[in-house]
Amino acid sequence: MRELILHIGRAKTGTTTWQLMVALNRQVLQPAGINIPQFFRGDNHGELAVAFANQPGRLGRGYAVESHEDQVELRGKLQRKFERELTDGTWLFTSEHLSTRLRTAAEVDSLYEFLSGHFDQIKVFAYVRRPDDLAPSAFAETIKAGRTHGFNRKYVLSARAFFDHAEFAQRWERPHRSDITFTLRPYLREGHLDDMWRTLFTLADARPPLPQLVVPPAPANEALSAAALRYLQEVNPLVPDGALTNRNRRALIATLAGQQGANLLLAPTVAAALAAQGLLAGGLRERDLVGDIGDMRWQVWFAAAPSVTGDWPRLSDAERDEFAERCAVAGVTFNSEAEVESTKPGTTLRAIRRAAIRLTQR
């Protein structure tokens, strides 16, 4: 008997820390009957997503998959690894990229068909975060990734799939198949990792005594203040122009992360758009998830007060000057002509202002 527990993440639900813990506890999990693979590249088993996504995108390029032929070759490699390495028992695969890259039921079916050739039972689980709490954090990640869009209704519409947890669950559930189960859990900051482990041990049918788990140091979290995010948004257009190298951009984010300030809040237009789309609870209904089980975490998830809202900040010249000076001191350089580097704050400020003007003209 060979069983797979497949953790498919969902954005901003503690997946990175979870994967670090899984890797650190590989040896202590095995006596509990849970095998952690070592045939994937790293702790995030993203090859699975790349192998079956219609659009692997930038993630695919990280695995040298840029064509359909490359994807077929990757599937073949995974097939051979599975045949060589898998043994009877319970295995845990984990990757949040599965939830973001496999966007249709057909892609999920292709993955399930592949996995069913190697496992008798597939138990899928994922965590979801309330959209009104998720939206500011998710939007901040898009700005850190280089985007320049606003925190507004248009953003919600463009990122609807990110917040539509009901559609996500429907994409992964297969109620007509007895060999596939799907478990959805609520993300709550308090006790989240403990709940993830309890979910894993329940799905694995692991019985006490459960292992004493090793807890990793908290990973560096480059959380940016609302003002720093707004500044970064204005800088982002400089990257494709060549006025800011990717290396300097990473240094820029690290510098901005050291500047304290108010967190980004849920924008009123975003809250209104989520409500209009029926997504304040991700399209989920409490009675479908609580029922007779009496799951207190779901009850807390649905009962939480709505997130507070605030406008997407506007930067004053003084704030721009302050950020530019900090960047210059940190050695972040801007090429005002996309050729000659300069660390002068004045040159930096002019480059940022030009980016802001281009931004408003779009």
- What is the structure's pLDDT at 176? 96
Percent of the chain with pLDDT over 90: 66
Q: At which residue do the structure tokens 């009123």 appear? A: 268
Quick: pLDDT tens for 279-306.
999 999 988 887 555 688 999 999 999 9
CATH number belonging to the domain at 2-130+163-203, selected among 1.20.1740, 3.40.50, 3.10.590, 3.30.310:
3.40.50
Structure tokens at 74: 């990757």
State how far the Cα of 343 lies from the Cα of 331, in Å rounded to an integer: 7
* Residue 34 host element (H or E): strand 34-35
DSSP, residue by residue, 5-18: EEE---TTSSHHHH
**Is this prediction's pTM over 0.95?**
no
How confident is the model over 190-219, as a mean pLDDT?
87
| Cα–Cα separations (whole angstroms), residue 72 to 32, 79, 260, 355 | 35, 11, 47, 41
Neighbours of 229 (CB within 10 A): 23
Q: How many CA atoms lie within 13 A of 69 on its CB side?
A: 0
Interval 18-32: pLDDT, tens = 999 999 999 999 999
Predicted pLDDT at 246: 73
Run of H or E residues at 90: strand 89-94
